[in-house]
Every structure is written in C-alpha cells, then in structure tokens.
A = this chain, B = another copy of it.
C-alpha cells in the first residue's frame, strides 16, 4: 500500500524556431513550434531533489535551436528523428525522447506579378503536426512517427442529411435532408515505417481527406469521417492508423418566416457552443502496436 512515483517526463515546450534557408537569393522559410520531452532515470529528482541525471530544459532548448541549423528543417520528421535520437543516444539517463512539432505555413508573396524572393504572408489554414518518439538503444531502439494537422475548417453548403436517428423522451431534433455540414478537423496518423516522403504524403493525405469531405454525400458526420480515414489508408500504405476528432460546428437555419421572409437554406447562424464532437479511428487490422505514439505531451500533436 505504498505511495510511489508513477510515470513522469519533462522537457521544454513551445520553442518558436524560425529557419530561413538563404543559400540563394530565393529564400525559404520554415516556422515551427518544437517541444521536447524526456523519460528515463529521473526518480532522484522527484524523491530527493537530486538533479544529477537531469539535463536542464534550457539545454533541450539550446539543442533544438542548434539542430535547426545542423540538421535543417526541410522535413519536420527528419529533424525530429535527429533530435530524438540525440537525446536517447547521447544523454545517458534518457530512456526515451518525444519531439512534438507544429508547423505554421507561409505563402510566398506575389508582387508586380512575380513571386517575391524573400517575403511571405502567413497562411492561416491548418497547422501541420508531427511527433517522433524514440525509445531504447542499439538494436533494440524503437521509433514511432505520427503526422497530422489541426484547425482545418471545412464546410459544405449542401450534400448533407441527418435523419432516421434514435429517439427517446428528450429528443426534439427535427430530421433534415439538407443542411450545412462544417467542422474544424483534427487528424493524426501513424506511420508504420520511417521510409516516407514526408512532405508529399502530408500534402496527399490532406487532399484525399478534403476530396472525400466534398464528394461523399453525407448521412452523418460519422459516415464522412470514416470515408475520409479509409481513403487515406487506401492511398498511403505507409500509414497504419488514422485518428480524427471533428466538432460538428452547427449552422442553424435562421427563422425568418416570422417576418414573412423565405429562407431556403440561405441565411444561417453559426453557433459557438455547444457543438457535436465526433471522434473516430480507422486502422489496418494488422497495424503494429501503437506503443507511446499517441502519448501526447502538449496538446494534440
């Protein structure tokens, strides 16, 4: 009946690193938010305040910035792999490291009809996500990589129905055969390998999901999500599992009939709260064990 230290980890969260590639007059930019977390032999810090095994979070920060130069940031996942392996391989008490990355995209400015060499505006669409977890040493070292995005706000103005649902004594919802369907999608997917064309797969997964959202005639958000997830797994054998969390952002048809005005699905109120929240996973039935792949450190990465 003893009281004991359970799972613990620590690191530096939200290092806001901007990397400019300026090897030619046409610069490139990567703008990321990097968090690092270490697990290992840190019980003495908790039990006795002994920091002998604790690599400071400040050091983790310095390393994250240094690796942005040493290893570049062209591919988030390669950067994350290098950084995670460094902590596990080079810092003795570290048993496993997790690197979480958010990326904010920028669009190259067009000025006077031409793409500008060194100016961008921030693209406020979805935030790209990546996580890398490395555990163990030598031959036994294991690696898990996830990709994903959050805040992809997508809406269709027709092609969505909702009816035939279960009813009980608290059911007052009217069925509909034509509604707005909108969500702010979070999707994260797990790779079965690290031999991946990371940026191409990211763009491709997003395109597949958007296409399915648009073209599937929807009888429920659940159906749409499953179709999106299934299409991703069909298109990308590198991906073994995909998780989606989708708020049903309600757009209520505004009652203008009270004023003698027709409203044929034209004017809606976009409500804030509450919202439906649908979560679904689509997976291969032979997917390897997820291990710590989904063990989020900060937020949803």
Contacts and interface: CB of A to CB of B under 8 A. Distances in A.
A82 interface: no
B27 A158 contact: yes
A273 B210 contact: no
B10 A156 contact: no
Interface of A, helix, strand, loop or mixed by DSSP = mixed
A61 B121 contact: no
Given A46-B225, A153-B121, A10 B54 contact: no
Contacts of A112: 211, 215
A247 B13 contact: yes
A124 B121 contact: no
A166 B122 contact: no
Given A157-B118, A159-B118, A248-B57, A275 B14 contact: yes
Interface in A199-252: 210-211, 213-215, 218-220, 222-223, 225-226, 230, 233-234, 241, 243, 247-248, 251
Given A51-B220, A173-B58, A3 B119 contact: no
- Which residue of A18, A218, A219 has the most chain B CB atoms within 10 A of its CB atom? A18
A266 B22 contact: yes
A47 B227 CA distance: 8
B19 A266 contact: yes
Contacts of A256: 65-66, 69
A267 B17 contact: yes
Contacts of A93: 166
A180 B18 CA distance: 10
Contacts of A31: 270
A14 to B, nearest CB: 4
A276 B57 contact: yes
B284 A298 contact: no
Interface residues of A, number: 141
Contacts of A225: 46
Interface in A261-291: 261-286
Contacts of A243: 6
A154 B119 contact: yes
Contacts of A55: 165-166, 168, 171
A196 interface: no
A154 B61 CA distance: 24
A218 B248 CA distance: 38
A219 B4 CA distance: 19
A271 to B, nearest CB: 7
B58 A172 contact: yes
Given A29-B155, A172-B258, 4 more contacts: A3-B233, A10-B222, A45-B222, A90-B168
28 contacts: A3-B285, A5-B280, A5-B283, A6-B241, A6-B283, A7-B281, A8-B222, A10-B277, A13-B273, A14-B273, A15-B274, A19-B266, A22-B264, A27-B157, A35-B274, A48-B223, A51-B162, A51-B219, A54-B166, A56-B171, A57-B276, A59-B168, A61-B274, A109-B211, A109-B214, A119-B210, A122-B125, A123-B125
